[in-house]
Amino acid sequence: MNAVARNIEERTLSYSEAIREAMSLAMDADPTVILMGEDIGVYGGAFQVTLDLIDKYGPERVMDTPISELGGAGVAVGAALTGLKPIFEFQFSDFAALAMEQIVNQAAKLRYMLGGEASVPVVFRMPAGSGTGAAAQHSQSLEAWFGHVPGLKVVQPSTPEDAKGLLLAALADPDPVLIFEHKLLYKMKGHVPEGHYTVPIGKAAVRRQGKDLTIVASSIMAHRALEAAERLSVEGMDVEVVDLRSVRPIDRDTILASVRKTGKLMVVYEGVKSYGVGAEISAMVAESDAFDFLDAPILRLGGAEAPVPYNPDLERASVPQVDTIEAAARRLLGGEV
């Protein structure tokens, strides 16, 4: 391998750098792509993802919005209806609760209500998840809320490569897309191809092949599931890990194929266990022919039925960790569930 090829192959970016590169590529290629959000300009965003983009593209395309999520999201939806492609950043995904009217009642429904004559190509970036000590109002995982709404697409990239590719795919989509970016992943580094590419929305990735148990997870939980699977492999337990990547639409075919192969299923997710992504996947499998291949009950491992605590020990205990995933998988593989 020559030096040029090796450098391309080994090119790494952080998760946040990959997102920023995707936005910059899109803005270079398409003047209708604009950025909106609180403090995304000079400050560079709450997590420094937009960093120097205002210097490159100016305040007319990198717009600081007032501290009003309802107003900012409404302007983004309106801009999308007029032919622009806004990327709106919520400082924390929790704050989208203030903009539910615009996301759920407007963005998700206008193409349907207008008979397909208009579309709403807006992307909402949603920093999400626990682990930063930001307490109950800044640490939630709300992807299941929005996955419940027809007209929205909801994705959860777990790697820098997917963070870039899913954002570029979202910008090419005529419908509103919500991208949940786990805050603990922003500094994680990984291989990211150069140039423009997309990762298909609605397509899961099998991150680890296995024959004894399927674990379906996404975002940071995909990484924790992989680590748990590697630990279990030392004892001869062969776990397959499916990275969901997309909550809506969901990759039914990949999940069912894995369950038919392994005969056991565990779903790991950070959101509160009840009424969550795990419930949807469990029901989907139970209603399919893959149910006949199961030789153990489906196990859901989700967040605690409580607000996310501020105390760091309680915060860690409130969501699945590598140790708890390993222990749950061990019980399921040992016939204790």
SS3 assignment, position 12: strand
Q: Which residue has the tokens 């920093």?
A: 127
SS3 assignment, position 218: coil
Q: How far is the C-alpha of 16 from the C-alpha of 192, rounded, in Å?
A: 12
Q: How far is the C-alpha of 81 from the C-alpha of 84, rounded, in Å?
A: 7
Q: How far is the C-alpha of 188 from the C-alpha of 289, rounded, in Å?
A: 38
Instruction: Find the catalytic residue in 17, 138, 161, 181.
Output: 138
Instruction: Find the catalytic residue in 17, 21, 38, 69.
Output: 69
Q: Which of 271, 73, 270 is nearest to 176 (CA)?
A: 73
Report residue 262 as tokens.
């392994």
Residues 6+ apart with CB under 8 A from 58: none
Q: Do you know the residue count of the chain?
A: 337
Looking at this protein, which amino acid is placed at residue 279? Answer: A
Report residue 288 as tokens.
């399919």
Is there a catalytic annotation at residue 196? no
Residues 6+ apart with CB under 8 A from 93: 126, 127, 128, 140, 141, 142, 180
Is there a catalytic annotation at residue 280? no
- Give the residue numbers annotated as catalytic, written as ranges: 69, 138
